[in-house]
Structure 1
Amino acid sequence: MPTPTPSAPGTPPTGYTEHDLERFAPEPPKSQARTPFQRDRARVLHSSALRRLGAKTQVLGAGANDFVRTRLTHSLEVAQVGRDIGAELGCDPDIVDAACLAHDMGHPPFGHNGEKVLDALASDFGGFEGNAQTLRLLTRLEPKVIGEDRPYGLNLTRASVDAAIKYPWTRGRGPVPSSPKFGAYADDVPVYEWARQGSVPGRKCFEAQVMDLADDIAYSVHDIEDAITGLTLDLQKLQDPLERSAALYVVQDWYMPEESIEELDAALVRLEAEPSWLLSFTGSMRSAAALKNMASQLIGRFTRSAITATRAAHGEGPISRYSGDVVVPEQTHLEIAVLKGLAAAYVMSSASQQPVYEAQEEIIRDLYSRLWNTGTQYLSPLFAELWQDAPDDDSRRRVVVDQIASYTDVTARRLHEVLFDRTLTHVTAADTPLPGLGSEL
């Protein structure tokens, strides 16, 4: 392992040190026209892993309609929200922007359903987690910097890598040991520990907290917007007591198991009291504009609440790295959870989605079995090289998981049809693959 050194001399941005500017693999000094953090953002923005998010599921399947968000559009929106919050609170906006753009790069095809299936398949050799896969992409898999001993991924600065670590612990070492959430696989521990040097164990850096908040805000508001435009959620129906109770139960079950239904209902009542809250959506230009205004007002409501509370706790000076924490008032936390839970109730846990989930699970399990049993035959050249360099079977199995995680939804379906020469009859029309294979194969 190389001895990390700063890649560019000069005065670090306010609130940061030379330590924060170091890269895992030393690089020759660069022009001072851009800061190291601006360079980090550019590396993420131009990465192939970010581009692939354009065909990966957010909530509704990628390609379900021309309006629905993908992981890429979601990440762009998270970056905009996060950059604004970071600028208000005084941390470097390019670090936050880079972390927000990168935060979902490790997600496999088919969203959280794909993540769950891959975690089960990889349970004997370290599991699978989207954020741990993001770290792996940033520091190993995304081709940018290659050393004599190993690839170094995008080779971002320490501060930017740390900002992308949403779960700062390894598997089974978090606040809830049974939680499936973690931030690094065993063979990525060296770079994880390098990125976390000087950190507080178990505590996200401030920039990662801003990224996490921006993700929650964008996720909650925009998934509701997608559900409404997709006609799977009619907010007017929540006026029916039985409908409302059933929806709030899903909110509680998915996101807030320790909160009472009464507290969640009170949060929903506060949201409904917003002048912009939309009870009727027809698809007309006027109702589409009203929906967009509701989304904008909700984002403003949540960001103002967190910025005000954080400033009240820390004063007016710039906050960065480990000099403070983002403060989200409990009422705001509950309101965000209610919106996320409504999307879960009317989209993700909908009975109509179950056949789709089953088809997705079949695709991933079949692909894993075929790729594992055929060596490098169906691996892309990049992953075939990693397979050949792998020291043991568990490492080769990890390569197979890495390959599958890189697939878009469309590519996974296409390859499955090619390899198994059949069409899954229970996949919906929106899931029908297009002819041809993706270039990443």
Structure 2
Amino acid sequence: MTVVPQSPTTRRHRPDGAGATTERILDADEAFRDDLERIRFSPYYSRLAAVTQVISQNGAGQGVHNRLTHTIKVTSVARAIATAVNRPDDPRRALLDRVGGCDPVVVQAAASAHDLGHPPFGHLGELVLDRIARQRYGLTDGFDGNAQTFRILTTLDALHPAGGLNLTAAVRAAVLKYPWCRTTFPRPHPSDLAQPPRGAGSNGHDPGSAKFSAYLLDAEEMVDVRAAYPELPPLRQTVECSVMDIADDIAYSLHDLDDFHRAGILQYSAIAKEFREWRADSVRLARQASGTLRPDVPGQSLEALRRRIHAKDPWIADDDAFSTAVEHVLTDLIDGLLAIPYDGSRAAEHALGDFTGQWLAHLQDAVMITLDPGPRSGHVSLLPQAWHEVAILKFVHQRFVLQRPDLALYQRGQARILIRLVDGFDAWLADPVDAARAPRRLLEFIDLATAGYARISRFRPDLLPGTDPATRRRLAVGRGLIDYIASLSDARAAATADLMTGNAERLWDAGGGL
């Protein structure tokens, strides 16, 4: 895999004579702004308005975030951070220049693109498609929203005739939060390191990395992009990527809490009891055997979080910072915001906006620049105290929303929709009489995957489980089918599943897209 180092402004497809006028770029600023608009005008970006963040509006009310509103807020936070650290009078500016600088427009483009790969039904859809891809089709790299984003930007979007949005190397690199494949590439694989980078460790059940930013099909593309940064260590994010990553964490930690406070799901008494029990009994809990910690006993889930931080992130884990963060969240979120139930009034909305605004400002100001970060961090990161606060805010969401049995029931129904879609399309593609009438985009995605696997089998056969035509065909069908289903909105996935099972009475509607 030979790569010629390139400029961050290099596009994936260099224009030839006929296309030179449409690809004429005067300078880096114009190139990056053009990338930002290409992303925002993409149909994959528009689709995010109809994709679940955690739960759909039908499930919890009108004020709930979807993937597009989440993306817009991540972009806003990312822009604020990038603008602040670039100010000439900011003390962080000198360090920023030493690590290569940070272009605010590249940051905005990466933030706008970061969730394009999310499938229907949010993270639930991601888990279901990953399991199907690996178990049914033998795709060792399964499915991941980050890798799907990179595939959309470089291959699946149809803006450029050769595929993808034809973005600059800087913007393509800035979406690579986890610049490795799930398994095999690069070697040595980061999951095998004594201290893997963040996201590169195993999830405890499957081989390889829990998080990754490129499928094996797109590994060569990832190497080509990273060649624009020859001084960047192999497994480290670009500076712009690390800003986007922090902004995503900040927005996720706060805006999902907005949703579930409005919906009345964040119950003051249960959350307050968890925090107060840990605070009152933290010394004894610290001595308790890990195997005896129970999530149904107040205080013990928070203690389990403290231990996970020490186990996964010893480079930043600090018990004093953890205790201070618990107090901060207890005072501001629990005894402040949640102590008064949300009633839809202007006063309640003002209180929620005030809480979110103050915390956003606090976390955005808690950004530091590091010349030589550890493997679990990037050049741009949060100060240790703020890092612990974000971890605890995310804990509230995980423990008191995502683990609810009623949400699990709702999600199991959504999982069945995706399984029905895979079953139906798989049977259709296997039908020698009717396969040609399958959706054109599905067949095109399979063709793209077929060409990709043929290329790998010629130049990097070590990346494949087998190079015989039957194996390659099964891989291509699986990848193309997963690409297609992942590109649907929530409503389109449900409607298509109904059509395939004969439960829908209506056939034609505007913009069907099949």
TM-score range, shorter chain: 0.7 to 0.9
The amino acid that maps onto 2:41 is H
Q: Deviations over 1:127-173 (max 9, x none)?
A: 111100000000000111123xxx2x001000000001111111133
Indicate how the Cα distance of structure 1 residues 242 and 44 shifts in structure 2: closer, same or farther if over 3 A, else same.
Answer: closer
1:40 aligns with 2:35: yes
8 Å contact kept, 2:51–2:122: yes
Aligned to 1:429: none
CA distance in 2, matches of 1:434, 1:109: 21
Kindly indicate whether residue 54 of structure 2 is the aligned counterpart of residue 59 of structure 1: yes
User: How far off is 1:410 after superposition?
Assistant: 0.9
Conserved? CA contact 2:133–2:143, under 8 Å: yes
Name the counterpart of 2:66: 70
CA distance in 2, matches of 1:359, 1:378: 28
Distance 1:241 1:340, change over 3 A: closer
Per-residue CA deviations over 1:259-310 (Å, capped at 9, x if unaligned) read 499775542212234499412133211011111110111111111111xx33
Q: Does 1:396 align with 2:447?
A: no
Structure 2 SS opposite 1:258: helix
- Report the AA paired with residue 221 of structure 2: V
Q: 1:385 and 2:444 equivalent? A: yes
- CA deviation after TM superposition for structure 1 residue 402, in Å: 0.2
Partner of 1:374: 428
Report the counterpart of residue 212 of structure 1 in structure 2.
245
Counterpart-to-counterpart distance in 2, 1:250 and 1:326 = 30
Seen in structure 2, the aligned counterparts of structure 1 residues 71 and 23 have a Cα distance that, compared at 3 Å, is same
Distance 1:261 1:282 in 2: 38
1:137 matches 2:148: no
Contact 1:162 1:208 in 2 (8 A): yes
Residue 88 of structure 1 and its aligned partner are, at CA, apart by 1.6
Q: 1:96 matched to which residue of 2?
A: 107
CA distance in 1, matches of 2:423, 2:305: 31
Partners of 2:58 and 2:42 in 1: CA distance? 22
Cα separation, 2, equivalents of 1:237 and 1:163: 40
Post-superposition offset of 1:378:
7.1
Counterparts in 2 of 1:4 and 1:366: CA distance versus 1, 3 Å: farther
| Two-structure CA RMSD over aligned residues (Å) | 3.0
Q: Structure 1 residues 368 and 226 mapped into 2: Cα distance closer, same or farther (>3 Å)?
A: same
Distance 1:435 1:58, change over 3 A: farther
Residues 1:231 and 2:279 are matched in the alignment: no
Of 120, 135, 138, which aligns to 1:109?
120
What are the equivalent positions in structure 2 for 1:265-304 lying under 5 Å apart? 266-274=324-332, 277-278=336-337, 279-280=339-340, 281-304=342-365
Structure 2 portions without partners, runs of 5+: 87-101, 184-188, 191-195, 203-207, 279-294, 311-316, 372-377, 430-434, 452-472
Query: Displacement of 1:119 after TM fit?
Result: 0.8
Alignment match, 2:12? 24
CA drift at 1:36: 0.3
CA distance in 2, matches of 1:435, 1:102: 31
2:99 aligned residue? none
Cα deviation digits, residues 363-401 of structure 1 (max 9, x gap): 111211211221256754223223246252211210000
Distance in 1, matches of 2:363 and 2:275, equals: 28
1:201 maps onto 2:234 in alignment: yes
Letter in structure 1 aligned against 2:420: D
Name structure 1 gaps, 5 residues minimum. 6-17, 315-323, 424-432
Stretch moving more, 227-236 or 130-139:
227-236
Deviation, 1:356, is 1.3
Matched to 1:131, the amino acid is N
Distance 1:253-1:119 versus aligned 2 partners, 3 A rule: farther
Structure 1 contact 237–244 (Cα < 8 Å) conserved: no
Residue 15 of structure 1 aligns with which residue? none
Counterpart in 2 of 1:257?
308
Q: Counterpart of 1:327 in 2: which secondary structure?
A: strand
Q: Aligned partners of 1:378 and 1:236: how far apart in 2? A: 56
Determine the C-alpha separation between the residues in 2 that align with 1:378 and 1:250: 52
Separation (CA, whole Å) in 1 of partners of 2:406 and 2:78: 34
Whether contact under 8 Å (1:106, 1:132) holds in the other structure is: yes
- In the alignment, the residues of structure 2 paired with residue 214 and residue 255 of structure 1 have an alpha-carbon distance, to the nearest angstrom, of 23
% identity of equivalent residues? 30
Counterpart of 1:320 in structure 2 is none
Whether 2:179 is the aligned partner of 1:168: answer yes
Q: 2:486 is aligned with what amino acid?
A: A
* Cα drift, residue 234 of structure 1: 3.1
Answer whether contact 2:32 2:168 (CA < 8 A) is retained: yes
